[in-house]
Amino acid sequence: MIAAIVFLVITAPFCLWAAWSDLKFLKIPNILSIMLAISFVIVGIFVLPFEDYLWRLFVGVAAFVIGFVIYLSGIIGGGDIKFIAAMLPFVAPDDLLAFAFLISIMSLAGVASHRLVGKLKLAPEGWKSWNTGRKFPFGFSLAGALFYYGVFNVFMAF
């Protein structure tokens, strides 16, 4: 229960930052992913059993390596890969499949809401994600998925 609350408090500002940055600039800053990863390394050791902590670190590193290969194919941006690798340690290993499903649902909701805002001309002036054709700020969906996962875990802890 403590881990869920601590992780939500830590990840929520990063989720907001990632969503805002990707919508406005179509970029997730490297410093965001680095700070998120460092946050897990520092805090995770205190709130998780050691084996769980190591497993989660492994998942983050594996995601980065696999993601780098996917990035080379041009399917997904580098900022998204780094953000995924930094955020996955905050997800319990038993929840990874459900979290992948949550990312897919958030992606559908994100694309729909992003397109709707663009069609209705409600997008803020000068924000890049609404002025680059068919590109979609995937960090918007990733951040939403991590935030809702954290909120769900806190509610399930009570």
pTM for this predicted structure: 0.95
Among residues 93, 91, 97, 77, the alpha carbon closest in space to that of 148 is found at 91
Q: In total, how many domains does the chain have?
A: 1
Q: What is the pLDDT of residues 61-89, one digit of tens each?
A: 999 999 999 999 988 999 999 999 999 99
Q: How many CB atoms lie within 10 A of CB 68?
A: 13
Residues of the domain holding 135: 2-157
Q: What is the pLDDT of residues 119-147, one digit of tens each?
A: 999 999 999 999 887 789 999 999 999 99
Whole-angstrom Cα distance, residue 90 to residue 110?
21
Q: What is the pLDDT of residues 7-52, one digit of tens each?
A: 999 999 999 999 999 999 999 999 999 999 999 999 999 999 999 9
Question: By the 8 A CB rule, do 3 and 154 touch?
Answer: no
